[in-house]
Amino acid sequence: GESVGLHLPTLSVQEGDNSIINCAYSNSASDYFIWYKQESGKGPQFIIDIRSNMDKRQGQRVTVLLNKTVKHLSLQIAATQPGDSAVYFCAELNAGGTSYGKLTFGQGTILTVHP
Amino acid sequence: NAGVMQNPRHLVRRRGQEARLRCSPMKGHSHVYWYRQLPEEGLKFMVYLQKENIIDESGMPKERFSAEFPKEGPSILRIQQVVRGDSAAYFCASSYQDTQYFGPGTRLTVL
Interchain pair B102, A36: CB under 8 A:
yes
Given CB atoms, is A103 within the 8 Å cutoff of chain B?
yes
Please tell me whether residue A50 adopts helix, strand or coil conformation: strand
Given CB atoms, is B1 within the 8 Å cutoff of chain A?
no
More confident residue, B87 or A4: B87
Q: Which amino acid is at A41?
A: G
Interchain pair A102, B48: CB under 8 A:
yes
Mind telling me how many Å the CA of B45 is from chain A's nearest CA?
A: 6
At residue A82, what are phi and psi to the nearest 5 degrees?
Answer: -55, -35
Given CB atoms, is B96 within the 8 Å cutoff of chain A?
no
Q: Residue A99: which pLDDT band, with cuts at 50, 70 and 90? A: low
Mind telling me how many Å the CA of B9 is from chain A's nearest CA?
A: 10
Q: Residue A92: which pLDDT band, with cuts at 50, 70 and 90? A: very high
Q: What percent of chain A has pLDDT over 90?
A: 71
Q: What percent of chain B has pLDDT over 90?
A: 86
Interchain pair B56, A101: CB under 8 A:
yes
Given CB atoms, is B53 within the 8 Å cutoff of chain A?
no
**Residue A33: HSE in the Cβ half-sphere, 13 Å Cα cutoff:** 35
Q: What percent of chain A has pLDDT over 70?
A: 89
User: A23 pLDDT exceeds 70?
Assistant: yes
Q: Which residues of A touch B104 (CB under 8 A)?
A: 42-43
Q: Beta strands B106-110 and B10-13: pairing type? A: parallel
**Calpha distance A57→A75 (Å, rounded):** 10
Q: Which residues of A touch B48 (CB under 8 A)?
A: 100-102
Residue ranges of alpha helices (H) inside B13-97 are none
**Calpha distance B23→B30 (Å, rounded):** 12
What is the pLDDT averaged over residues B58-72?
94
Residue-level pLDDT at A6: 43
Q: Residue A1: which pLDDT band, with cuts at 50, 70 and 90? A: very low
Mind telling me how many Å the CA of B80 is from chain A's nearest CA?
A: 24
Render pLDDT for A29-79 as a digit per residue (tens, 0 to 9). 888 999 999 999 899 999 999 999 999 999 999 999 999 999 999 999 999
Closest chain B residue by Cα to residue A9: B40
